[in-house]
Structure formats: structure tokens, C-alpha cells
Amino acid sequence: MFGGQNMQQMMKQAKKMQKQMEDEQAAIAKTDYIGHAPSDVVLATFNGDRELKDLQINEDIVDPEDVDSLSDMVIVAVNDALKQIDQDSQKRLGQFAPKGMF
């Protein structure tokens, strides 16, 4: 069904795509994603492997009487950074996978 030449060409193309995908995955892993809470009162920095690298909290919002608001801002910043990772992964890797996989 497939000629030897066509099979070799397909294998070559598959290897090329695999290398491109690995390169994109490495680029994502090295990228920093910074999640922001409103007015940047909390910044959460993740790498592409979803590891939290830094968490900055503006001291002006620290109120011992209202710890819940601080928690909410941390959650917003963390979720924002994780959403950025998902979006970048979809953008970079979506071409290599069926729709909805990333």
C-alpha cells in the first residue's frame, strides 16, 4: 500500500514533528508565567512545569483583620498564572495534537 519511499518520507516528517514538539515543550518549561491579582497586589510566578517560583504580596493589602481577602488575591494570581500556562501550551503544542488535548 505504501511505497518504501513514501514510508521513509512519513517517518522523516514524524521525527521532524516530534523534535519540534520537544523543542516547544522545553521552551514552555523555561518560560516564566506571572499571574496578577487586581492592581497587582499579588503576583505569582510559575515556570512552565507549574512550579511556583515566587509569590509577591504588596504589604499595603496585608490586614490581620481580613486574611480572607489576602487569600482570595493569592488564589486569583495563582489561577491567572496557571491559565497562562494552559493557553501558551495550547498555542505552542496544539498543532501537534487533536483539538482539546491541551
Residue-range domain boundaries for the chain = 4-96
Query: Predicted confidence band at 96 (pLDDT cuts at 50, 70, 90)?
Result: confident
Checking if the pLDDT of 2 tops 60, the result is no
Checking if the pLDDT of 17 tops 70, the result is yes
101-50-34-17 Cα dihedral, nearest 10 degrees = -40
Q: How does strand 32-36 pair with strand 52-57?
A: unpaired
Query: Predicted confidence band at 4 (pLDDT cuts at 50, 70, 90)?
Result: low
Instruction: Give the ranges where 1-102 is alpha helix by DSSP (H).
Output: 4-30, 67-93
Residue type, 26: A
Q: How far apart are CA 77 and CA 67, in angstroms?
A: 16
CATH 3.30.1310.10 assigned to 4-96:
yes
DSSP string, 22-48: HHHHHHHHH-EEEEE-GGGSEEEEEET
